[in-house]
Amino acid sequence: MKLEMIGISKSYGSKSVLKNISCEFTEGVYGLLGANGTGKTTLMNIICNLIKPSQGRIKFDDLAHAEDYIQYIGLLPQNFSYYPSFTGLDFLLYMAVLKGMAKKAAVEESGRLLKLVGLYDVRKKKIASYSGGMKQRLGIAQALLNDPKILILDEPTVGLDPKERVKFRNIISELSADKIILLSTHIVSDVEAIAKEILILKDGNFIERGSARDLLSPIEDQVWEFRLSESDWQRLSQDYVIVNERVEPDGVVLRVISAKAPAENARQAVPSLEDLYIYHFREEAV
């Protein structure tokens, strides 16, 4: 099973959002990292044939036309819409009809998926009463109707509390054995633990791709932590890439990326994917 992006570009007028992207995906979870506005949603929409690329094409196995492969895609969009007066079960049955499923299969599959995402006990309650995390889990369930081979999740955990994010990640991990799962996010922890590969999208293309370990290798000896006074912090903040700062009663503890020790009391720290993310997107954070 293989999903291919072949020379994908997308422009809106004079603004180029995606620039000649070519890559392949097989079974497993892929984390697509990028700041807001970098083109993640545009790329997801192109895969799902919701918008057309300016150039390039998508291919799934031997299927090169959207009308042939679109049936194998399940989508949880960034702004997931639902009918608040529907129950969770009614909503899944409604979505199953839209996907052309037979009634018996729709009932059986809806029940199975509600159990999978932990909503079976509240299946007859109105969606309006669901928490944000429950609504997102219902979104996964509707995306899985008809057993898609490709699962597209666009910013699926925005607004969820840490407990719900963990539940969400666990569900995705369980599904990854026989599906291609593309998870777009700017929340690093969502992909750090479960993605077999992480792709960083910036300036219209993938600037890095690999496992978390592979991506962190170049900065392995370049992450430092040290304590300094508040007056020194004002000066050093102009000279280094600061990835974190922690205010304590006796000063400020900075975490920076630097090829050399930024201060005499600096100690090397274990790099994290969040360090790398902030390094690449520090301009957007300003």
In a 13 Å sphere around the CA of 126, the CA atoms on its Cβ side amount to 6
Q: Smallest Cα–Cα separation from 25: which of 196, 217, 235? A: 196
236, 228 Cβ separation under 8 angstroms: yes
Please report, for residues 107, 154, 176, 200, 268, the alpha-carbon distance to residue 186 in angstroms, rounded to integers and kept in the order given. 35, 10, 20, 10, 26
140, 117 Cβ separation under 8 angstroms: yes
Separation between Cα atoms, residue 128 and residue 246, nearest integer Å: 39
* Confidence category of residue 218, pLDDT binned at 50, 70, 90: confident
Over residues 225-262, the pLDDT tens digits come to: 988 766 666 666 667 778 888 877 777 888 888 888 88
Range with the poorest average pLDDT among 82-86, 156-160, 269-273: 156-160
Instruction: Output the CA angle 226-227-231, nearest 5 degrees.
Output: 125
Over residues 138-197, the pLDDT tens digits come to: 998 999 998 899 999 988 887 778 888 888 888 888 888 889 999 988 778 888 878 999
In a 13 Å sphere around the CA of 150, the CA atoms on its Cβ side amount to 22
- Kindly state the tokens that stand for 71: 């049936």
